[in-house]
Homo-oligomer: A and B are copies of this chain.
Amino acid sequence: MPDFQTWISAHQLRFEEILKQLLPSAEIAPQRLHAAMRYSVLDGGKRVRPLLAFAAGELADADVARVNHAAAAVELIHAYSLVHDDMPCMDDDVLRRGKATCHVEFDEATALLVGDALQSLAFQLLSETCLSDEATKQLQMVKLLATASGSRGMAGGQAIDLASVGKQLTLPELEQMHIHKTGALIRAAILLGAHCGNLSQEQLDKLDRYGKCIGLAFQVVDDVLDNEADTATLGKTAGKDAHNDKPTYVTLLGVSDAKKMAQELHQEALRAVLGFGDKARRLNELANFIVMRKF
């Protein structure tokens, strides 16, 4: 079995090719929109959500060709949310993954349409090829991604985020925001990967517990890194949230307690998948990676 770094690199490389194939060619009309979609998705990001989908897929003995589509669907939703989030009416950011943001490289109207079209493409990917032995289960996958993306999931989390600027949130309120804003899609990535295989409801519940902890840990670590790193290392504007007067785990708990919280969530995530034994190896390694990462 390859070591973790080899596993990650192989999947990242492979998945980049998958994304290149699944995104419409920039040669096809409307060319500029397709070029902007490819610009916004390709060549960037750690692909944390797809890696989680692949790890869950391996645990569930799923066909990797199926997981590719599920992972790509989740990543397109993530990518669209970044494009819209960077727009002037939201975070007004110019730098993302070390590159100019979509509305800077192209224009605002194109960025708006890029996000819209990426979301549609995500649902196309979940419906155009067979991803599960049972079509009813595949419909559940569509529903899962739709709810994770919508007003009670990611988009709702961003709305709570908007409303929180300049406000003193409590820890439960901050948690509520992140459970929606980043947590929902991370949980969806894991469950969608798992749904490509065959697991019992009890097993899926364990994975969901893992996903909930890792999703929150991811955000806590993000806040710590955002507080400590500089813009060059991060590949996006550092210290932005605190600067924008947005509540973060660091501003609320302090660096030390925020780090402690990440450690506790990390341990809880590992406990959730303990029963899978060595099958959960990649999920364990990804949990370590998410909590220990430096960028």
Write the nearest CB–CB distance from A117 to chain B, whole angstroms.
4
Interface size class, chain A? 35 or more
Contact between chains at B112 and A89 (CB < 8 Å): yes
The complex places the Cα of A84 from the Cα of B146 at a distance, in Å, of 19
Interface string of A145-173 (1 = CB under 8 A from B): 11101111101101110110000000000
Q: For A87, give the chain B residue with the smallest CB separation.
A: B112
Copy number in the complex reads: 2
- Expressed in whole angstroms, the Cα–Cα distance for A86 and B149 within the complex equals 23
22 A-B pairs whose Cβ atoms sit less than 8 Å apart in the complex: A24-B151, A28-B152, A29-B160, A30-B151, A33-B155, A37-B151, A84-B112, A109-B162, A110-B162, A113-B151, A113-B155, A115-B116, A116-B119, A116-B149, A116-B155, A120-B153, A124-B146, A124-B147, A124-B150, A127-B139, A135-B135, A135-B136
A19 to nearest B CB, angstroms? Answer: 15
Which A residues from 219 to 274 make CB contacts under 8 A with B? none
Instruction: Give the 10 A-B residue pairs with the shortest CB-CB distance, closest first.
Output: A120-B150, A135-B135, A89-B108, A124-B146, A127-B142, A33-B159, A117-B151, A30-B159, A127-B143, A117-B155
Task: Evaluate contact between A151 and B121: CB separation under 8 angstroms.
Answer: yes
Interface of A, helix, strand, loop or mixed by DSSP: helix
Pick the most buried of A108, A116, A138: most chain B CB atoms within 10 A of its CB: A116
**Residue among A108, A124, A145 with max Cβ neighbours from chain B (10 Å):** A124
Task: Please determine whether B89 and A156 come into contact, CB atoms closer than 8 angstroms.
Answer: no
Q: Which residues of B contact A34 (CB under 8 A)?
A: 151
Nearest chain B residue, comparing its CB with the CB of A33 = B159
Is the Cβ of A90 less than 8 Å from the Cβ of B112?
Answer: yes
Chain B residue with the shortest CB-CB distance to A90 = B109
User: Across the interface, do A146 and B134 meet the contact criterion of CB distance under 8 Å?
Assistant: no
The answer for the CA separation of A134 and B139 in the assembled complex, in Å, is 11
For A126, the chain B residues whose CB sits under 8 A away are: 142
A33-B32 Cα distance, complex, nearest whole Å: 31
Complex contacts, A120 vs chain B, CB 8 Å: 119, 146-147, 149-151, 153, 155
Q: Which of A96-111 contact B (CB under 8 A)?
A: 107-111
Cα–Cα distance between A34 and B237 once the two chains are bound (Å): 30
Closest residue on chain B to residue A80 by CB atoms: B116
Which residues 124-142 of A have a CB within 8 angstroms of B? 124, 126-128, 134-136, 138-140, 142
